Amino acid sequence: MELSRLHRIKRKIYLLVTVIAFLGVCAALYYKTTRLQKEEAQVEVQIDKANDKYTSEKEREEEIKERKAYVQTKRFAEDVAREKFGMVYKDEVIFKPEEN
């Protein structure tokens, strides 16, 4: 009878240790999962920022291409000559406002 009682106590102890170990593993997995979810959210924010920057840089690239094409035209040379040097064609009439 003593052996049987001792055997039951050992089984209960083993069961308790197993349950405690299982709960420990569950707690560790829960902690790791929540940490990974936070990291995932941070990475998603970084990805969104990178995508926004990529889009803005693509738009800037298009603007630069358009500006490059415009700079190589005769119209650009005429505009610069008018704005910077005040040049006009021979048959053009210029009206200036009166100065007080």
Buried/exposed code over 42-58 (b: 16+ C-beta within 10 A; e: otherwise): eeeeeeeeeeeeeeeee
Check residue 37 and give its pLDDT: 97
* Blockwise average pLDDT, block size 10, the chain, 100 residues: 82 96 98 97 97 97 95 91 84 78
Scanning 72-91, the segments in alpha helix (DSSP H) are 74-85
Domain ranges of the chain: 2-85
Q: What is the pTM assigned to this prediction?
A: 0.56
